[in-house]
Amino acid sequence: MKMQWRGTKLPFVVGTVCAAMLALAAPAQAGTADGDHAGTLAALKAFQSAGGPGAGIHAGDGAGSWTLSTGTGTINTNTPLQSTDHYRIGSQTKSFTAAVVLQLVDEGKVALDAPIERYLPGVVDGNGYDGNTITVRQLLQHTSGIARYEPLFTSAPANPDGSYPIEALVREALKAAPTSAPGGTFTYSNANYLILGMLIEKTTGMPVYKAVTSRIIAPLGLTGTTFPRPGDRSLPAPAVHGYHGVRVGPFFFWTDVVSYDPSVFNSAGAIVSTQEDLTAFYQALAAGKVVSQATLGEMEKTVPVGAVNGHALAYGLGLIRYDLSCGGVAWGHDGEVPGYYTETLVTADGRHASVVTNAHLTTNPPTPQMYKLLDTALCENRS
């Protein structure tokens, strides 16, 4: 479910080489954790040793939360990651976008099993696509048949200020032929969520960043979360510094991720948030405070998408389901954009874990280590 990049050229993202570091050079630092979290700290160190210069986890249960950090948020400094630090959350944005679509379903303005052609006439058309056969549900679940699309490498025309119109991104995405018939194979594509962003804009009459802000971010009091408007490249302070990485033997070579316009990801991956805010969002969603219980039930209808570390993964409507090693399931999403690899998972009984590492690796992203870390934190002190 993370954004997997193809190729190695990042012409407008990567700056100059800043440093090379031994994989295990950064010392572990405990944050505001209470009690003994030795197992989680060990898993965090393993995640960071395969990830970025730093890594952090914010976790807990209904009784409270704690934070651990290892490495650094800025190379050549001792800057532990904090749970209130800002970073780009990548595809965790999709859960926010899906939540708005499902609110529109609750309001009777959108029908899950209606064709997208009903709401966006002529948008999903040509090159083997027919908007009359692709439903809103299929877009949300990545079963539309629309081909995989990586916005970072788009050839779509930009605005004069360097931002990207969502319509141009969608047109570019649909130049690739379908991978399957609608309702068939699961194919994770950012194009699905860009089209859903257009659906939100058409139905609400406002830009998608305003719709998500007014419907989700503001009502939940997520003061550390922003959906940047096109052209806004800023990252609020305090921020986790993001890097791009290449692994050569025991060394990581970090290159600075310079400013880029997050509108290239838009409703598929543009949001900035914190570990604490992401935890609050997914907990509110799981508790039925964002969409109705009936609609939440639709979000949690999944299709299998594989496994990691021997535990099943499935995809609902903007949500990943992960089968925990200690029994039960956790819900959330992961994300990867220039500089960051992240995920947040929550359970029905209040357990939660949000992780971040501050690098995108060209090869060998630490997916197994990330899920091991999440699983360890969520299963602490459970038989």
Among 269, 310, 319, smallest CA distance to 90 is for 269
* Residue 175 DSSP SS3: coil
Q: Are 166 and 267 in contact (CB under 8 A)?
A: yes
> Which residues lie across from 321 on neighbouring strands?
314, 331
The encoded tokens of residue 48 equal 């960071």
Among 212, 187, 192, smallest CA distance to 200 is for 212
* Residue 41 DSSP SS3: helix
What positions carry a catalytic annotation? 91
d(CA 239, CA 88): 9
Angle between helices 367-378 and 38-49 (to 10 degrees): 170
DSSP string, 113-150: TSBGGGTSTTTSEETTEETTT-BHHHHHHT-S-PPP--
Q: What angle do CA 208, 14, 243 make, to 5 degrees?
A: 80
d(CA 343, CA 64): 19
